Amino acid sequence: MFNKIKISLLVSLLALTIIFSISGCSEKSEEVTQKQTQKTESNAVTESKPTDANPAPQIQPEEQQAEQIKEPNEQPPVEIPDVGPKTVKLETSMGDILIELNEEAAPVTVKNFLKYVESGFFDGTIFHRVMPNFMVQGGGFTENMQRKQTLPPIINEAGNGLTNSRGTISMARTDNPHSATSQFFINHRDNSNLDYGGPSNPGYAVFGKVVKGMEVVDAIAVVKTTMKAGMRDVPVEPVVIKSVRLVSGQ
């Protein structure tokens, strides 16, 4: 009887020992697993920090466009040397036109034209007569079609050998050959019918030529026109001569 009780106690103690051993191993296994998981999670966060903390700079399309727009402004402006033939710049509402004056062939006409330039007479005037495949005329009227007071008329220098070819500038006048004052025109095509042909055909005096900006003349020539103040071929939207300045030659 005593022996049976002793054996039963030993079996119970052995069972308890096995249970505690299994429990201890399980706890250690979970602890190792948790530590490994924490280590892995820590490495993942650490590895992602450089990218998150210091992202590579991104240039947005808007920024690229802004940079492209700024680039032309960063270029130094082109300076026209103050030497050679006298050159004037017509700044118009449709763009700039550079005109080289021929003082040798038309000294009186060029001198007269430069008087108007120096006084600022042309500033704010318009191209008041525009005819495609013929010419564009300006230098005498304001935007509200008021005619400006001029200097006395000059002699006609049309017999100077220059022709009214495309891009040349000539003096406008009345039927009187020697009536030109301030109004001028730029030939949109070759207009040989306007050239000097003798006493019976006095012609129109050429005194210079467009050297840059003929595309502006082409654009002016095709604007929509109407009748204003009793005159035909007046642009519907005023083509304003903002200023005329001597930019080369003294």
Residues 104-112, mean pLDDT to the nearest whole number: 98
What 228-237 contacts at long range (C-beta under 8 Å, 24+ apart), as own/partner pairs, is 228/145, 229/145, 231/128, 231/129, 231/145, 232/129, 233/129, 233/130, 233/131, 234/128, 234/129, 234/130, 234/145, 235/126, 235/127, 235/128, 235/130
The structure's pTM equals 0.68
pLDDT at 140: 97
CATH topology of domain 87-248: Cyclophilin (2.40.100)
pLDDT at 84: 84
Lowest mean pLDDT among 60-74, 79-93, 122-136, 235-249: 60-74
Residues 212-241, mean pLDDT to the nearest whole number: 98
pLDDT at 27 over 80: no
Percent of all residues in the chain with a pLDDT value above 90, rounded to a whole number: 66
pLDDT tens figures, 43-87: 332 222 333 333 333 323 333 333 333 333 444 444 545 668 999
pLDDT at 12: 57
